[in-house]
Homo-oligomer: A and B are copies of this chain.
Amino acid sequence: MSHQSHTLHEPSGQMKSAHPQLTELILRLQQTLEDYITHQETRHLQQDLELEKQNHSQATRGQETTLVHLMCQVVSLFQSGATNSLELQLDSGGDVGGGQQAQTSRQPDQLHHQLSDVKASFISNDLSDRGTDTSALYQSSFQDFTTYHGDKYDEDRNPSGFINLAISESNLCIDLITERLSRGDMTSTDEALLQYADWRGHAFLREEVARFLTYYCKAPVPLDPENVVVLNGCGVMFSSLTMVLCDPGEAFLTPTPFYAGFTCASRLYSKVELIHVHLDSEVTEANPHPFQLTVRTLEEALLEARTEGKKVKGLVLINPHNPLGDVYSLDSLREYLEFAKRYNLHVIIDEIYMGTVFDESIPFHSVLSMESLPDPNRTHVIWGTSKGFGISGFRLGALYTRNKEVASAVSTFGFLHGISGIAQHKLCRLLQDREWIDNVYLPTNRSRLQAAHRYITDKLKALKIPFLNRGSGLFVWINLKEYLDPCTFEEELLLYRRFLDNKLLLSPGKSYMCKEPGWFRLTFSDKFLHLKVAMLRLAQALSEQKQCLAEKQMKDTLKE
């Protein structure tokens, strides 16, 4: 099955340099059209398979939505006059012709009808361009999550509801947390909690965060509460940091795969380019582990970006890593930081998963533990309680930076990203209770993470699904390439939708900007019953998928 990219014209070089937004749109449009055409071909070949048709029609709608949205954006750009200054050299006749030709052989009327329907939901008299983009972001990133919230699995009340192994949260210790939060010291209605607070966060919470990180990160000297800012989430903290460190269009090196929330944060607010430094799953001499981050890779990416005229302001690190589960050695960490210093790059390091290292043989090293940071003024640590304590609903994101300017500038965002005072009080109490954390919570959480990880990885082994066996995180990074034919992101999306049809949510690698199609993130830190049902659904979906692939291959063979 061949792609038809040769039928679509390349945007002209002039346009590329003159109008990056337009160029990007056109490139996305082109890619989506290619995927769409490929998909229509598949559909054509398989139109007698009823099940497959259903799935495809779902995927088709998704593609059409994207297509029309991109087209609307381009039109809107032209209408807005933003492109007036460009002498566009697009051969629009040829371009549209190619597309139309492709359509003609695929029931044009029906297609046109579908497009109109989708278009109606996108062409808006009310939303601005960025409002339309925001709406599209909601539909692509949060729509399934919203659907899940309206139809959650429950053994008794809703046994056919969704099980969500796509979201990274843990409810393994919800009993402990609930018990702790119910104790008397948690309840306070102190006046200060009910009113406007210091936008950096209440002093009592910043002090407790500093003490907590000093202790659990093994900081050589006590951390200073004045270097702490708390906002309502770590994605927010990333957004705020990139807002104050970069102007729009400036860039951060971001090894892939990486946490999808950073992309959303950038798209919503900071408009920072996250330069994807693609890591490789293949093990070679230069790449001793799958998805190994090396200074050489970083350096090459940086030099290439600079050659292209990009203004690279920093490097994003995630340790322990989401979605890989990697925990960096002290040596590796130091190398990355030294590299950043060498090139005057800021480092935003997200350590939110520090509390999830369940393999006791793996030591976690916070950058805050280092006797001397290579570039303390340009090293900014993000941390929160969502993962280690399994309380993402509290919305805590904390920053630790010795750079006073950065801390002060980030504080301003407290005006629009504050946390409820009563939640700040409870968080403070929780972090304060070292005895409970050390003797009750941490050991129990660790053993439950180990058990859940063991259960899931045993099932994966039984299903012969390869996965990265790391010792941290709330998820495993699994490889489902062999269920894709061809191995494309288009097929990855179809597989994602097949899971959805089986009432199971997994996260496709594409949302982590993984270079290679076929990877998924699967959360294991859920109730045993959920995991059991989820793995049955996974097996069922993969079995359906395998059968389809077999039938497809047979058809291909017969055709030859």
Chain B residues lying within 8 Å of A301, measured Cβ to Cβ, are none
Contact with B along A410-442 (1 / 0, CB 8 A): 011101111111110010000000000000000
A547 at the interface (CB under 8 A from B): no
Contact B195 A409 (CB under 8 A): no
Chain B residues lying within 8 Å of A178, measured Cβ to Cβ, are 189, 191, 194
Contact B130 A244 (CB under 8 A): yes
- Number of copies of this chain in the oligomer? 2
A14 at the interface (CB under 8 A from B): no
Q: How far is the CB of A157 from chain B (nearest CB, A)?
A: 14
Contact with B along A144-179 (1 / 0, CB 8 A): 011001000000000000000001010100100110
Known: A127-B245, A244-B131, A422-B394. A416 touches B236 (CB 8 A): yes
Nearest CB in chain B to that of A346: its residue: B126
Contact B126 A390 (CB under 8 A): no
Known: A124-B405, A422-B394, A422-B423. A146 touches B232 (CB 8 A): no
A391 at the interface (CB under 8 A from B): yes
A134 at the interface (CB under 8 A from B): yes
Known: A189-B182, A395-B420. A415 touches B194 (CB 8 A): no
A59 at the interface (CB under 8 A from B): no
Contact B415 A416 (CB under 8 A): no
Contact A420 B406 (CB under 8 A): no
Q: How far is the CB of A345 from chain B (nearest CB, A)?
A: 11
Nearest CB in chain B to that of A80: its residue: B247
Chain B residues lying within 8 Å of A406, measured Cβ to Cβ, are 126-127, 131
Q: Please, how many angstroms separate the alpha-carbon atoms of A128 and B244 in the complex?
A: 6
Q: Please, how many angstroms separate the alpha-carbon atoms of A368 and B493 in the complex?
A: 43
Q: How far is the CB of A33 from chain B (nearest CB, A)?
A: 25
Contact B421 A232 (CB under 8 A): no
Contact B422 A393 (CB under 8 A): yes
Q: Tell me which of A90-98, A135-143, A532-540 binds B.
A: A135-143
Q: Tell me which of A36-44, A261-269, A324-332, A450-458 binds B.
A: A261-269
Chain B residues lying within 8 Å of A194, measured Cβ to Cβ, are 171, 174, 177-178, 181, 390-394
Nearest CB in chain B to that of A420: its residue: B423
A340 at the interface (CB under 8 A from B): no
Chain B residues lying within 8 Å of A135, measured Cβ to Cβ, are 244, 405, 408-409, 412
A199 at the interface (CB under 8 A from B): yes
Chain B residues lying within 8 Å of A129, measured Cβ to Cβ, are 247
Q: Please, how many angstroms separate the alpha-carbon atoms of A182 and B128 in the complex?
A: 44
Chain B residues lying within 8 Å of A177, measured Cβ to Cβ, are 189, 194
Q: How far is the CB of A496 from chain B (nearest CB, A)?
A: 19
A193 at the interface (CB under 8 A from B): yes
Q: How far is the CB of A159 from chain B (nearest CB, A)?
A: 18
Known: A135-B408, A177-B189, A393-B421. A243 touches B146 (CB 8 A): no
A517 at the interface (CB under 8 A from B): no
Q: Please, how many angstroms separate the alpha-carbon atoms of A264 and B193 in the complex?
A: 23
Contact A268 B420 (CB under 8 A): no
Q: How far is the CB of A236 from chain B (nearest CB, A)?
A: 5
Contact A126 B377 (CB under 8 A): yes
Chain B residues lying within 8 Å of A182, measured Cβ to Cβ, are 187, 189
A388 at the interface (CB under 8 A from B): no
From residue 99 to 130 of chain A, which have CB atoms closer than 8 A to chain B? Answer: 124, 126-130
9 contacts between A and B (CB under 8 A): A131-B243, A132-B409, A137-B412, A142-B411, A149-B197, A232-B418, A235-B415, A393-B422, A395-B418
